[in-house]
Amino acid sequence: MKRYLSMILVLALVAAVLSGCGSAAESAVQNASESVPETAAAAPEEPEAEPETPEEPEPAAESLVEPEEVIEPEEEEVAYFPLEETKSFNYWFVYPPFFEGFAEGPQDYLMYTEAEERLNVSIDFTAIPIPGAAEQFMLMIASGDYNDVILNFPGSYSGSLDEAIDQEIIIDLTEPLSEFAPDYLATQGKSETRVLGSYTEAGRQAAIYGFQTDDGRIPKFGPVIRQDWLDELGLKAPVTVEEYHDVLAAFRDEKGAASAYGLAADGVTTPGNMQGAYGIVVPSNNDANGFYQVDGKVHFGPTEEGFREMLTTLNSWYSEGLIDSNFVSDTSSATSGEVDSSRIASGAVGLWRGYATNLSNYEDNIGGGAKVTGIPQMKKNAGDTLHFGLDTDGAAANMSVSVSTACEDVELVVRFFNYYFTEEGSLLANYGTEGFTFEYNDKGDPVYTEVITANPQGMTMDVALALYTGGTTGGPYEIDNSKNYYSYTEAQMSAGNAWKQDSDGAYQLPATYSGLLNAAEQEELDSLYNDIVTTYRENVLQFIIGQRPLSEFDDFKNQLEEMGIARCIEIEQGALDRYYARAES
């Protein structure tokens, strides 16, 4: 019995030592002794006779310390980046061609050049300017010769994203994201709208999306007016359609503004957002396809009564000389929505669709101590709430990247874009690099340097932001809107706050719902819509300048009906219903 007790104590100590923890050894001894009856515990006081011959250890003792009970120390996880050897991927990238004289394209974006250096990754860009990008995209898909990574695949592909996965154009990223992109998934999960906007109908992930936030967010553009003229004439900033008219007439009569209202060449991108004042959205060359929803029901703006009212107002203002008689020739405004800068500088225009970041540029170009300011969006009646124009939190398709089936190193790509959702990568995408594009203020917050706010090369702030940060089309990251507080001047912040005043965004469609259209639906929609929107654009300009009388507006609506607009609405409604069904499930 004595020999058996000794064996237990020795084996307990051995087990403790093998476990790699000294303090645990003491505990093991104590536990072993406590498990022995009191009579046995006193036994060691008696002398023990020496055995005549050594005895072999009892076989049963081996089972007290099993090999699997030995706890090996965990190996420290080795960081994936920076890579020991450079790895690369190729990247289909559509970009706005406004870098002439400053950069060649996305290969010069600081967001990527800096990340490439930090992570030891090389990117081979296929850089496609926006004009003609749709055709180039279709050629790439038809050829089957895909880039590893494709920017804004959800916004470019004509079918559903599930079909693109099933047809092995792009891959389902659900598993790679779960394994390699914890920071992205944490950012995605901050709101239901982000999650709903970034999953397909089948519950798959077809892209890595960029995300907006509500906090601190202000519109980038809105109505800009000659404040110096208002002050000189003793007028207040207009709010209603009628007040806008009266101020424009004063600018024409008292300030010689030959085309006081800076209407864009498409006829519907209007300073003050006249569409919103009349409760509609219509197709524009800039940023809308004409569909919106009210209480979950899809509408098409050009067939609504509000559009007739809007055209009546524009026709009246055109007849009165408040709009340039040759506004359709201002080709630059057709894409930007902003009238030619020379017309603003000359004093021909007193109210235009402008950008917050360009307020000081407008004043400098006009000269003579001119003062401009942002004013609230137009309303039909003073107490109205506007239902458009408010940016909301959600997944942004134009900032997304998808991974094609041609990609041989999915882990590299997913980890690379996950980097922009880490603290370090997010700072790079939002602010650039310390000492160049930003510095920390006395509160420890990053603020832009003059490289962004007053670029010495003559870039506007929009161009500088696109080149030196992620901007809104540079790729996936979470936009930090708090930078607005530190990078915008007081006048810019005031303008942005005025532009979102009294707006709830209630009629806006979810940003990514159209990704739920299948290929057949998208094909049918495109075939109908393309002819409809062509007819619409021709008639808009005719109604405004009076070539077609507004008494024929009902004939115009009937023409759109005959061309299949009801079927287009039905298709859009189906996609929206499926989107909302996911929210309820």
pLDDT tens-digit readout, 119-132: 999 999 999 998 88
What single string gives the DSSP state of each residue in 409-431? -HHHHHHHHHGGGSHHHHHHHHH
Q: What per-residue confidence (pLDDT) applies to 486?
A: 74
Task: Output DSSP code: residue 98.
Answer: -
Q: Give the pLDDT mean for 34-44.
A: 37
The set of residues, in sequence order, having a beta carbon less than 8 Å from that of 38 and lying 6+ positions away, is none
Domain for residue 172, yes or no?
yes
The set of residues, in sequence order, having a beta carbon less than 8 Å from that of 150 and lying 6+ positions away, is 91, 92, 156, 170, 401, 402, 403, 404
Percentage, residues of the chain above pLDDT 70: 85
Domain for residue 321, yes or no?
yes
**578: exposed, middle or buried (Cβ count in 10 Å: 0-12, 13-18, 19+):** middle
Q: CA–CA separation, 558 vs 560, rounded Å?
A: 5
Domain for residue 77, yes or no?
no
Domain for residue 289, yes or no?
yes
CA distances, 82 to each of 78, 119, 122, 292 (Å):
10, 4, 12, 46
Which domain covers residue 33, as residue numbers?
Answer: 2-50+57-69
Q: Nearest Cα to 541, choosing from 319, 228, 266?
A: 266
- Do 245 and 314 fall into the same domain? yes
Instruction: Say if residue 64's pLDDT is above 80.
Output: no
Q: What is the pLDDT of residues 351-366, one digit of tens each?
A: 999 999 899 999 999 9
Domain for residue 74, yes or no?
no
Query: 3-class DSSP state for residue 83?
Result: coil
Q: What per-residue confidence (pLDDT) applies to 278?
A: 98
**Residue in the structure block whose two tokens are 């003792």:** 61
Side-chain half-sphere of 403: how many Cα atoms within 13 Å? 21
Domain for residue 417, yes or no?
yes
Number of domains in the chain: 3
Q: Which one-letter amino acid corresponds to residue 442?
A: D
Q: Give the pLDDT mean for 566-584.
A: 89
Q: CA–CA separation, 358 vs 338, rounded Å?
A: 11
Q: What is the pLDDT of residues 260-297, one digit of tens each?
A: 999 999 999 999 999 999 999 999 876 678 999 999 99
What single string gives the DSSP state of each residue in 511-540? TTGGGG--HHHHHHHHHHHHHHHHHHHHHH
User: Cα angle at 281 between 276 and 283, to 5 degrees?
Assistant: 135
Q: Indicate which CATH number applies to the domain containing 129.
A: 3.40.190.10
User: Cα angle at 150 between 148 and 153, to 5 degrees?
Assistant: 140
Judged by average pLDDT, the poorest of 369-383, 508-522, 535-549 is 508-522
**CB contact at 8 A, 395 and 197:** yes
- Do 193 and 335 fall into the same domain? no
Q: CA–CA separation, 112 vs 17, rounded Å?
A: 52
Q: What per-residue confidence (pLDDT) applies to 110?
A: 97
User: Is it true that the peptide bond before 549 is cis, omega within 30 degrees of 0?
Assistant: no
Task: Output DSSP code: residue 340.
Answer: -
Q: What per-residue confidence (pLDDT) applies to 14?
A: 35
pLDDT band at 17 (very low <50, low <70, confident <90, very high): very low
Q: What is the pLDDT of residues 77-122, one digit of tens each?
A: 679 999 999 999 999 999 887 777 888 889 999 999 999 999 999 9
Query: Do the strands 297-300 and 208-211 form a parallel or antiparallel pair, or are they unpaired?
Result: unpaired
Q: Which one-letter amino acid corresponds to residue 214?
A: D
Q: CA–CA separation, 187 vs 213, rounded Å?
A: 11
Q: Give the pLDDT mean for 558-563.
A: 98
pLDDT band at 585 (very low <50, low <70, confident <90, very high): low
- Cβ of 31: how many Cβ atoms within 10 Å? 11
- Kindly report the average pLDDT of the chain as a whole number: 86
Q: What per-residue confidence (pLDDT) applies to 584?
A: 66
Q: Nearest Cα to 106, choosing from 519, 523, 467, 571?
A: 467
Q: Phi-psi category of 375—alpha, beta or left, where left has phi over 0 and alpha has psi -120 to 50?
A: beta
Q: CA–CA separation, 367 vs 390, rounded Å?
A: 33
Domain end, chosen from 467, 499, 531, is at 499
Q: What is the pLDDT of residues 206-240, one digit of tens each?
A: 999 999 876 667 788 999 999 999 999 999 999 99
Q: What per-residue confidence (pLDDT) applies to 74?
A: 60
Q: Give the pLDDT mean for 532-537.
A: 96
Query: Do the strands 372-374 and 149-151 form a parallel or antiparallel pair, or are they unpaired?
Result: unpaired
Query: 3-class DSSP state for residue 388?
Result: coil
Q: Nearest Cα to 125, choosing from 157, 101, 148?
A: 148
Q: Nearest Cα to 129, choosing from 157, 101, 100?
A: 100
pLDDT band at 32 (very low <50, low <70, confident <90, very high): very low
Q: 494 or 4: which carries more pLDDT confidence?
A: 494
Instruction: Say if residue 71's pLDDT is above 70.
Output: no
- Do 374 and 250 fall into the same domain? yes
Domain end, chosen from 499, 534, 551, is at 499
**CB contact at 8 A, 565 and 532:** yes
- Do 228 and 199 fall into the same domain? no
Q: Which helix (H) or strand (E) holds 195?
A: helix 192-198
Q: What per-residue confidence (pLDDT) applies to 9?
A: 35
Instruction: Say if residue 349's pLDDT is above 70.
Output: yes
**CB contact at 8 A, 25 and 13:** yes
- Do 346 and 418 fall into the same domain? no
Task: Output DSSP code: residue 159.
Answer: S
Domain end, chosen from 24, 39, 69, is at 69
- Do 251 and 178 fall into the same domain? no
Domain for residue 504, yes or no?
no
**CB contact at 8 A, 322 and 245:** yes
- Do 268 and 373 fall into the same domain? yes
**CB contact at 8 A, 160 and 522:** yes
3-state helix, strand, coil in the chain (%, to 5): 50, 10, 40
pLDDT band at 73 (very low <50, low <70, confident <90, very high): low
Q: Give the pLDDT mean for 548-560.
A: 98
- Do 443 and 558 fall into the same domain? no
Domain for residue 129, yes or no?
yes
Q: Phi-psi category of 168—alpha, beta or left, where left has phi over 0 and alpha has psi -120 to 50?
A: left
Q: What per-residue confidence (pLDDT) applies to 515?
A: 75
Strand order in the sheet with 121-129: 121-129, 87-95, 149-151, 395-403, 208-211
- Do 121 and 32 fall into the same domain? no
pLDDT band at 196 (very low <50, low <70, confident <90, very high): confident
- Do 521 and 374 fall into the same domain? yes
- Do 374 and 521 fall into the same domain? yes
- Do 345 and 291 fall into the same domain? yes
Q: Give the pLDDT mean for 16-42.
A: 36
Q: Nearest Cα to 300, choosing from 525, 45, 131?
A: 525
